[in-house]
Structure 1
Amino acid sequence: MTAYDETLTMLKDLTDANGVPGNEKEAREAMKKYIAPYADEVTTDGLGSLIAKKTGQTGGPRIMVAGHLDEIGFMITHIDEKGFLKFQTVGGWWEQVMLAQRVNVMTRKGNITGIIGSKPPHILPAEQRKKTIEKKDMFIDIGASSREEAEEFGVRPGDSVVPICDFEVMNNEKLLMAKAWDNRIGCAIAIEVLKQLEGEAHPNEVYGVGTVQEEVGLRGARTSAHAIQPDIGFGVDVGIAGDTPGVTENDARAKIGEGPQILVYDASMISHKGVREFVLETAEEAEIPYQFDAMSAGGTDSGAIHLTANGVPALSITVPTRYIHTHAGILHRDDFEHAVKLIVAVIKKLDRETVDRITLD
C-alpha cells in the first residue's frame, strides 16, 4: 500500500469530499483547510465560491486561478409510495454510465448509501437490451419499504446525491483514481500555486479560487470574477484524455502523463492569443511539457471569467483525465505537478508592464 505524502493526502481529502452544484460546503471546507495557510485572506462570495488572496506586490495586476468545487451528481425530486427515489441530474451525465452505480444521498440526518436500480438482463427482451434507459425512468434504491420510511431516514426533495468512489493510488503510483477529479484537481492546482509562491517574490496579487456551480453554467466563476475584477484569468480544470481504446485522435488527442493541456478553443471561449503565447513561451523556457487541446462542446470557468466587466484576457490550462463525467476518473500526477509549475512560472513574470503588453496581442 502506498504511503501518502502531503500532496496525496490533500488530493484524497478534496476528492472524497462531496459537493454537487448548489451544495459545495464539504468541498469548500476541504479546500479552505489546505489553502488558508498560504493566503493573506480567505473570503466567499454570495453564492459560496472560495476566494483566497495572496499579495506579492500591493496594487499589482490581479491574477485569478480558478478551479471549480462542484462535481456532477443528482438531486432528489420525488419519493414514490414504495420508497424509491426519483432524481434530476445536476451536470452532464450519459445514461450508459449511470445504471447499477452506488451513490450517497446527502440528507439532513447524514449520508445514505443507495444504488441506481437496473433490471436483470434475464427479463429484458433482446431488443430492449440494446437500448439505453432514459434518465427519467431511473430511480435510486436506498432500501426503504415506503415513502414514510424513506422520509424517516431523512430523505426529502432537494437532497444532493453524489457518486461513490474513494480516492485510490493505482499500481502505477503515478496514476490516481477518484471521483470528482472534475474539478477538485483544479482546486488542488490553486492550492499548490499559492503554496509554491510562499516566500517567493511575485509582482502581483494572486487569487486562488474554488468556484461553485460550474457544471450547471459557470455560475460561481461569474460572481467570483465580479468580486475580484482580475487583470488575467486562468481556468484550471480537467481535459479529455484520448489514450484509451475506442478513442481516436479526432476525438481527443491528449495522453495522460505527457503534460497539461493548453485549451485553445471551447464552446465557451476562444483563448486569448497574448496570454496563450506568453504561457507557451514560458513553458518552453522552463522545459515544462504541454499539449494542445480544443473542444467543440463544453466549457470551463474561463468562459465566464473572460466576460467579466470590460473583459478579462483568459486561458484554460487543464489536466488530461480519463472517464470524466462518470463515477471514477484517472489522471497522472506528473500532469498535475507540471500544471502547477507552469502557472507559478507564469505568475512570477506577470508584472504590470508584461500584463499590459500581452493583453494587447
Structure 2
Amino acid sequence: MKKMDETTTMLKALTDARGISGHEKEARQVMEKYIKPFADELFTDNLGSLIAKKTGNDNGPKIMVAGHLDEVGFMVTRIDKNGFIYFQTVGGWWNQVMLAQRVTIMTAKGDVTGVIGSKPPHILSPEARKKPVAIKDMFIDVGASDKEEAMEFGIRPGDSIVPYFEFTPLKNEKMLMAKAWDNRIGCAIAIEVLKQLKDVEHPNIVYGVGTIQEEVGLRGARTSAHAINPDIGFGVDVGIAGDTPGISDKDADSKLGKGPQIILYDASMISHKGLRDFIIDIAEEQQIPFQYSSMSGGGTDSGAIHLTANGVPSLSITIATRYIHSHAAILHRDDFENAVKLIVEAIKKLDRDTVKEIILS
C-alpha cells in the first residue's frame, strides 16, 4: 500500500477511533483535532455533540451539516462465575454478523480484547444448527479463568464494547474498508466542507457537527440543533448499497462510486422538496454525479433536525456503503469527495433570499 495522503490519514483516524453510542469521547477528540483549524469557534452541547462554527456572513442563514460520531457496539451487562461476559447491543445488529468477531472492552484499567462466542455447532441438534444463534445466547470470551479475574482486568457492567477492525484500503485504493463508516464518513464530510470553505466567501454561517447517540434515537442531532437553531439542515450519513450479489433494483439500486445519494424518504423524514430540488439543480449544473435513494426503515439526523423549533428544511445526503452495522464496511472515496463538493457548492449559494425561496417552495 502506498503512503496515505492527508485525507486518507484523517479517514483512518476517524474510523479507528472507538465511540459507541453514549461513549463518543475518543471519536469526538479525533474530529475536533481535524476540524479545529477551519472553525472560528468550537463548542459542545450538554450531551457531548461537537459543534464547529464558521462565519461567512454574520447576518446570513445558519447552515447545519451533521454527521454522527457514534457507531454501533455493545455494553457489558454482567460477568458470570466462569469469567464470561454477557452484553446488550447498542444500536442495531444482525446476529449473523456477530459470532467469532473480535471486540475491545474499554475499561477503567485499559483495553481488554475478547471474541464473541456461543455454544459450538458440534453439540447442537440438527434442528438447532439450522437456526441463527440468538444474541441472548452469545457471550464474550476474554480469557478470564473466573469472575474475579475478569474483574481484575477492570471489566465491569456498563463498559463499552467496540468492534475491532483496522482501516484498510483495498487493492483498488478508492475502495476503503473500515469499521464505523456509519457514521465517521459523515464526520469526515463535515470536516472537509469547513476545510474547503476556509478561504472562500459564503453568505451564511456554517456549522459542522459531530452528533452523539444517533444509532439509539437521533438524540444528539436534537440537542445540537436546539443549540444552533439552524435555517437549513443537512444530515450526512451512510446509505444502502445495492451492488452486491442477491440484491434486486427494487430493493436497492445505488452503486459504489456513482455519486452521493439524495434521500427522498426514510422512516424519520420526508425530505424537504424545495431543498431537495435546489440540491439536485446544483448537482446537474456542476455535473456532480448523484443517485436517488429511499429507505422504508431507519433514519438519519435530518429526522431530528427538521423538527427543531418551528421547523428546519432538511435533506439527507448519504454515501452508499456495503455491510453497514458490521465489523467491516466498504465505501468509495469518490462518493465522499462528490458529497463534499455538492454541499460546498450549495453553501456558496445559500443566502437569506435563497433560503426564503426554499422554505416557500
**What is the rounded CA distance, in whole Å, between the counterparts of 1:260 and 1:238 in structure 2?**
9
Q: Deviations over 1:254-298 (max 9, x none)?
A: 000000000000000000000000000000000000000000000
Q: What is the rounded CA distance, in whole Å, between the counterparts of 2:332 and 2:291 in structure 1?
A: 14
State the TM-score, normalizing by the size of structure 1: 0.99
SS at structure 2 position matched to 1:265: strand
Counterpart position of 2:84: 84
Aligned to 1:238: 238
- Match in the other structure for 1:358: 358
Matched, 1:225 2:225: yes
What pairs with 1:118-137 in structure 2 (closer than 5 Å)? 118-137=118-137
Deviations 1:109-158 (Å, cap 9, x if unpaired)? 11111000133332222211110111111111101111111110000000
CA RMSD, 1 decimal: 0.6
Q: How far off is 1:315 after superposition? A: 0.1
Query: Normalising by structure 2, what TM-score?
Result: 0.99
Any conservation in 1 of the 2:65–2:190 contact (CA below 8 Å)? Answer: yes
Q: What's the CA shift for 1:248? A: 1.3
Question: Partners in 1 of 2:263 and 2:295 — Cα distance?
Answer: 8
How far the C-alpha of 1:246 sits from its partner, in A, is 1.2
1:256 alignment partner in structure 2: 256
Instruction: Supply the AA of the counterpart residue of 1:303.
Output: G
In structure 2, list runs of 5 or more residues that go unmatched. Answer: none
Q: Give secondary structure in 2 for the equivalent of 1:200.
A: coil
Moved runs in structure 1, 4+ residues, more than 6 A?
Answer: none
After superposition, residues 150-161 of structure 1 pair within 5 angstroms as 150-161=150-161
Match of 1:289 in 2: 289
Contact 1:75-1:89 within 8 A present in 2 as well: yes
Q: Distance in 2 between matches of 1:236 and 1:37?
A: 21
Aligned to 2:339, what secondary structure does the other structure show?
helix
**Identical columns (%):** 73
1:148 paired with 2:183, answer no
Structure 1 counterpart of 2:310: 310
**Corresponding residue SS for 2:215:** helix
Q: Distance in 2 between matches of 1:62 and 1:285?
A: 24
Structure 1 position 59, deviation (Å): 2.0
- 1:105 lines up with 2:105 in the alignment: yes
1:279 and 2:264 matched: no
Count of aligned pairs: 361
Moved more, 269-278 or 139-148: 139-148
Corresponding residue of 1:328: 328
Question: Contact conserved, 2:266 with 2:294, CA < 8 A, in 1?
Answer: yes
In the aligned structure 1, how far is the partner of 2:102 from the partner of 2:2? 25
Aligned partner of 1:233: which letter? G
The letter for the 1-side match of 2:111 is N
Structure 1, 189-198 or 135-144: larger mean CA deviation: 135-144
Measure how far apart 1:39 and its partner are.
0.1
Distance 1:93 1:337 in 2: 29
Partner SS state of residue 82, structure 1: coil
Contact preservation (8 Å) 1:221, 1:305: yes
Distance, in Å, in 2 between the alignment partners of 1:215 and 1:44 is 19
